Amino acid sequence: MFVKNLKDCPEFISADGAVLRELANPRTQNFQFNYSLAQAIVKPGAKTKLHQLKTSEVYYILEGKGRMHLNDEVAEVSQGCMINIPPLAKQYIENTGDRDLVFLCIVEPAWRADDEKILE
């Protein structure tokens, strides 16, 4: 059995500017799946950089509220929302609330820095 606590995951700033803590990635750990799982935080009034991934991605909002920009579409998001982000979609998320926007990022196949392109 494998159990990992978020507090044991080091924080880092992703290329798009979100604060990430990666919980699982088969590229760096011995897992029998091909996706990665990370928690992201965007501070109040902040937004991630316009970017795209070569891979598919899902966001699941845990706390806060924001506005998701995906290609030419914009949607209000809050706790409990799931956002499907297809490969190569131009995307960013902005925090429109007064507290941290916290969400899970599931990337399949597993996230690699080389698969992400900043467009700004």
Q: Are 84 and 75 in contact (CB under 8 A)?
A: no
Q: Taking residues 12-26, what's their average pLDDT?
A: 92
Distance CA 101, CA 94 (A): 8
Banded model confidence at residue 119, pLDDT cuts 50, 70, 90 = very high
3-state secondary structure of 10: coil
pTM, whole model, 2 decimals?
Answer: 0.88
Q: Is the backbone peptide bond immediately before 26 cis, with ω within 30 degrees of 0?
A: no
Q: Which amino acid is at 40?
A: A
Q: Taking residues 23-40, what's their average pLDDT?
A: 89
* Domains in the chain, CATH or no CATH each: 10-118 (2.60.120.10)
